[in-house]
Amino acid sequence: MENVENAEKSYEESLASDIFNMIQSAKESGLDVDDGFQNEPFATSELAIRYLFYPKRHLMQVPGMPDAQRRKLKTSNILAQVVVAKKLVGIHIIWSSTKAFADIATEAEVLAGIDTKALAAYKEHVAQALRDDFAKAAAAAEAASNVTQ
């Protein structure tokens, strides 16, 4: 059990570092990070992972957002999207803070804002998408090998 908890903590710390670096990189490139931005750290023709960095004021204008999600929003928020075959199949509010993105100064501040429950759901969503993609690729490879025989 301790190994699982350590792995979870390690993943959260790694993600916090990645998020912190995405914010810093966006700031250094001259973006107004407090107006919102996106980052796509992984994309293939079948699967994409996107992080949407948006302030509450923008997200409150999104039509159809469930009230339960609206209540979770703080000054700054990160939504993780899972896109399969160019279709959005999942979106999770994995991070939020009462601070503006521009005021985030440490990885520890990012780590403190991670919603572990939402992060677990997001991780499972990505894992399932990868399993499905792998199964499709294996089936295609099997079909191709049967044709050549």
Write the pLDDT tens digit of every residue in 52-100.
999 999 999 999 888 999 999 999 999 999 999 999 999 999 999 999 9
Separation CA 68–CA 130 (nearest Å): 28
Of the two residues 146 and 42, the one the predictor is more confident about is 42
Q: What is the structure's pLDDT at 7?
A: 63
Separation CA 20–CA 139 (nearest Å): 39
Pairing between strand 76-84 and 47-55? antiparallel
* Domain boundaries defined on the chain: 2-148
pLDDT tens digits for 90-129?
A: 999 999 999 999 999 999 999 999 999 999 999 999 999 9
The alpha carbon dihedral of 131, 132, 138, 141 has a sign of negative
> What mean pLDDT comes out for the span 33-61?
95
H/E element holding 139?
helix 116-148
* Tally of CB atoms within 10 A around 107: 16
